[in-house]
Amino acid sequence: MNNLLQRTITGLFFVVAIVAGLWWHPIAYMAIFAIVVLLGMYEFIQMIEGLDAKVRVFWALMIGMFLYLSSYFIFYTQLPPRWLIVMVPLVGGVFLTELYLKNKNSLLNIATTLIVPLYVALPFAFLHHLAFFGGNYSYEILLGFFILIWGNDSGAYVIGSLLGKRKLFPSVSPAKSWEGAIGGFLFSMGIAVLNYHLLGRLELRDWLVIGTFVSVLGTYGDLIESMLKRSVNIKDSGSVLPGHGGVLDRFDGVFFSAPAVSCYLLFC
């Protein structure tokens, strides 16, 4: 199948699934991104296997899913935040496991095990603040956030393909250009204005700030993921999304922008 057609079809199903989940019910939203978190952690673990390290898969997945699910239920059911104390024995379990296994690469094993939930699951836990901003579940801010990510990616791709000449970060991602990054930013600003008129919930100033965070930090997220993949000599993080690569490839814009947007909404 032509790669562009394959990419378009996959992207369409991808967008429809996310939008439908956000609109339908908070449980549907939680379930969809729980799957994304699990697949993303699996892909990241597969990437790390190229190193001389052994990720303790049980602990990595337990910590990641606990971070994601506990933060969700704190917002959805008003679960007391004191339940987050469970993180202490979970993290401690990683260290105790290495102590008893007596592996020569214990420090590297511990570090790689803990980086999996930190890099993948924690950013998605911040999305719950966007979903429940104001106290009750509402899909508008979260939907607007993802439309901004998709718009930034699309703008960067289109403008970069047509006008891209000056390399943005050639040592990490030779295909990306300054022209593409600027195009993505301009697309994001236009979408921020549309979000204000079509989705509401926030002031225009807030949408523009969020659009800036998404464009700038989303680009850095893309570059950092490219750096990580280059360090283990792979092109895509996975193949679960034909024409797009893996889950990490599609959600790299979330990893740094979601925490920033959450903090902005918390303190603005």
Tell me how far CA of residue 111 lies from CA of 52, 64, 92, 117, 180, in angstroms.
12, 14, 13, 11, 35
pLDDT at 171 over 90: no
Question: What's the chain's average pLDDT?
Answer: 88
Tell me how far CA of residue 222 lies from CA of 63, 152, 253, in angstroms.
24, 11, 6
Helix segments in the chain, DSSP class H: 3-24, 26-48, 57-76, 87-101, 106-116, 122-131, 139-163, 178-198, 204-231, 247-251, 254-267
Q: Which residue has the higher pLDDT, 250 or 5?
A: 250
Chain segment 109-121, per-residue pLDDT in tens = 999 999 999 999 9
Residue 238 banded pLDDT, cuts 50, 70, 90 = low
Cβ(62)–Cβ(113) below 8 Å: no
Chain segment 108-153, per-residue pLDDT in tens = 999 999 999 999 999 999 999 999 998 888 889 999 999 999 999 8
pLDDT at 243 over 60: no
Chain segment 193-222, per-residue pLDDT in tens = 999 999 888 999 999 999 999 999 999 999
Non-local (6+) Cβ contacts of 34 within 8 A are 65, 68, 69
pLDDT at 51 over 70: yes
Least confident of 1-5, 114-118, 212-216, 261-265: 1-5
Of 83, 37, 31, residue with least CA distance to 62: 37
Chain segment 249-259, per-residue pLDDT in tens = 888 889 999 99
What pLDDT is stored for residue 1 in this prediction?
46
Average pLDDT over residues 217-238: 86
Cβ(265)–Cβ(130) below 8 Å: yes
Residue 240 banded pLDDT, cuts 50, 70, 90 = low
Helix axes 254-267, 139-163, angle to 10 degrees: 130
What is the number of alpha carbons within 13 Å of residue 55 lying toward its C-beta? 23
Total-model pTM: 0.89
